[in-house]
Chain A
């Protein structure tokens, strides 16, 4: 049954002006970045691996930001626009509802990846890392998107409000993204180093660094970065299961008449 929810969301979210605006924003940002990387006198002198490294950060960062913002409203609008009651009066289960919504958010990520593909191809042209670069962006981005989407969905079921969900999600996103941008020297500090080890953003960027700078392209050589990302997904998934149980206990409608 989840496929009907998925299809509804694709039509209602992605094939709308809102969905198109997200893709256009991503496309403009990537065009601007790629143009600068390839034509700016100083930036164009960077090594190709560094260009790829910069572009990968922008692709993952933009995608996570867009998917987080979009996922913040994908569930909560059902409550705010009072469509949830009719939906849950049908035989639709909460599980199917969440799977359908998750697939819709994941589809947005895949659409963003497709939009980013020409930029990745252009920037990695002539490099033997092109395939690994794109493959790892897809893998690491997918794990990051999945983890953040689980977290946003958990908040959505808890708050049932777009505003609260979006604010809390963005706080977490920024809180995790900022330390990932600390320099290597800062990361040697014990506290920042410890945060860095469990931070999904750090895991993504360290893995890309490992691939692009150190040419460690096999999955085995990147497991130490993929594992924390996977753990982040498991943790946020557990949080989603917990809030889903709480949601079931409270009922679809929380307040009195």
Chain B
């Protein structure tokens, strides 16, 4: 059975001055997919995520997220969770207070939900510590908990394991895998290609704002005619030509 599309971008364009950050991008992500989004530095990945989540306005093209146009800010905000590239937190709040605050913004009665999320991301023991005292890994997990506060159907993550130690990376990967098994669609941007090849069911590669390749790992291998290639080989083959 073909699952419905939950993220659609048609001819998406965004310029910063004379530079095209995103250039005629076509994206189609289906419900329940673990979608990997790759690209070299400055390829336009973060801008694409910001366009798809309504933080930045496109210069041209159409976006549909969970069936809603990007203009329906409130409907989209209720359907998605985002771990953005910017990692700002209110340092003076405790972890639990931080999640309560965001729960209120979503109109959710928080107590039970916050406790469940803190347990899910492994922060129950540190919930009463100020966020300012959290390690990088704890902040990342708190960011994921915040993104899950509204029980989203789609989760956007922009480099969620950046700067984490191997154990921290593994913990987040396991958490994301279990969320995907629960039916949450995951749009995942990362530089860690081994992580992407392990987690993602479909991968898109972006370069200079354009989509240059898209498919499952096997489909991408076929395109470069190397059956035993790793995602790193594929990535380099597409981005260095």
Contacts and interface: CB of A to CB of B under 8 A. Distances in A.
A178 interface: no
Interface of A: 1, 4, 8, 11-12, 16, 81-93, 249-253, 255-257
Contact of A256 (B16, B77, B146): B16
Contacts of B16: 255-256
Contact of A85 (B84, B93, B104, B105): B84
Interface residues of B, number: 38
Contacts of B89: 83
A245 to B, nearest CB: 13
Nearest to A77: B88
B85 A8 contact: no
B57 A257 contact: no
Given A12-B90, A83-B90, A86-B84, A256 B104 contact: no
A18 B77 CA distance: 33
A88 B21 CA distance: 22
B55 A91 contact: no
Contacts of B104: 1, 4
Nearest to A15: B92
B106 A253 contact: no
A18 B16 CA distance: 38
Given A12-B92, A89-B84, A257 B55 contact: no
19 contacts: A4-B101, A8-B90, A11-B92, A12-B92, A12-B93, A81-B88, A83-B90, A85-B55, A85-B84, A85-B88, A86-B143, A90-B77, A90-B102, A251-B55, A252-B55, A253-B50, A256-B16, A256-B19, A256-B47
Given A91-B74, A252-B56, A8 B88 contact: no
B86 interface: yes
Contacts of A91: 73-74, 77-78, 105-107
Contact of A4 (B46, B57, B105): B105
Contacts of B88: 81-86
Contact of A251 (B56, B74, B92): B56
Top 10 A-B pairs, shortest CB-CB distance: A82-B88, A82-B86, A257-B46, A83-B88, A256-B16, A90-B105, A251-B56, A91-B77, A4-B104, A91-B74
Nearest to A13: B92
Contacts of B87: 82
Contacts of A85: 55, 84, 86, 88
Contacts of A89: 53-55, 77, 80, 82, 84
